[in-house]
Amino acid sequence: MDDFPSMQARCVDAIKRRALRLLHHTARGQRLILTMYLWAEEGTEGALLNEIIRQTDLPWVLGQVQRHTADEARHATLLRRRLAELGARSVGPARVDVVSRWKLQRLQALCQARAGRFSAGRIVPVFALAFRMEVMGVRVMARHVSVMEQLEVKPVETAAMLNVILADEQKHVIACEAALHRLVRDDEKMALEELCAEIDNVDRTLGITGAAVLWVTGAVLVVAESVRKMLPQAMLKLRSPR
């Protein structure tokens, strides 16, 4: 029998797939989802990479993080360009919703609490957090790409862009994991595994609720778009003489 986290993951995945299909029915829906990705790139991921830089002066870590930062900046540029093509007037700086802010605070506290378990110090939990966020990013983008492949009207440009970003995120997962294995001693590997499980646990909090909110948002946007299309015809009928 499946454990609760696997059941929850399957449930979240199924709801989010339906939500993505709905969001692709409207330009506003597509812009919403790409804006969420943009804010993740410019907000959470950027902050984590800066935190890693603050924790070390190891040249190989700094070089890796520099390349990683350049990739994330390129992703943000690609997303902003696509958003403009989809009719977004301008997208402001990254915003963090209440739940994500709460999760980030819990994750920061976890990093602080677990730093003493590793001889390399706080850089390990911060890198572990970046690693798990990259894994989550790959899961999110891969799901979106696979949903787009099944749509009747394929959003070709968005799919091409997301495939480019996805390929980079897959490389980030590998690079973060390799860096962690270099930073962590053999006798600390178990502590690292436990920490990654704890991070995933926090990340899963309210997962089904978040997925449901996304689905409802997609549905509301579809209804709003139908009403917007129907209104001019209804007004014309009202005005025309009988």
Q: Determine which residue in the list 24, 75, 82, 144 makes contact with Fe ion, applying CB under 5 A.
A: 75
Question: In angstroms, what is the minimal distance from the CB of 193 to Fe ion?
Answer: 22
198 binds Fe ion (CB under 5 A): no
Identify whether the C-beta of residue 20 lies closer than 8 Å to the C-beta of residue 143.
Answer: yes
- Considering only residues 4 to 33 of the shown chain, the ones binding Fe ion according to CB under 5 A are none
Member of 80, 114, 144, 172 binding Fe ion (CB under 5 A): 172
> Pick from 42, 51, 72, 198: which binds Fe ion (CB under 5 A)?
72
What Å distances lie between residue 128 and 21, 57, 133, 229, CA to CA? 32, 18, 9, 48
Q: How far apart are CA 63 and CA 175, in angstroms?
A: 12
Nearest to 227 by CA among 28, 12, 19, 21: 28
CB of 218 to Fe ion, least distance (A): 23
- Distance of closest approach, residue 100 Cβ to Fe ion, in angstroms: 16
Q: Is 122 in the site for Fe ion (CB under 5 A)?
A: no
Question: Least distance in Å: CB of 133 to Fe ion?
Answer: 8
Q: Where are the beta strands (DSSP E) in the chain?
A: none
**For Fe ion, which is the closer residue by CB, 125 or 218?**
125
**Which helix or strand (DSSP H or E) is residue 192 part of?**
helix 189-204
Smaller CB distance to Fe ion: residue 43 or 155?
43
What distance in Å separates the CA atoms of residue 12 and residue 211, rounded to the nearest whole number? 6
Residues 6+ apart with CB under 8 A from 240: none
- Residues at the contact surface with Fe ion, assessed by CB under 5 A: 41, 72, 75, 134, 169, 172
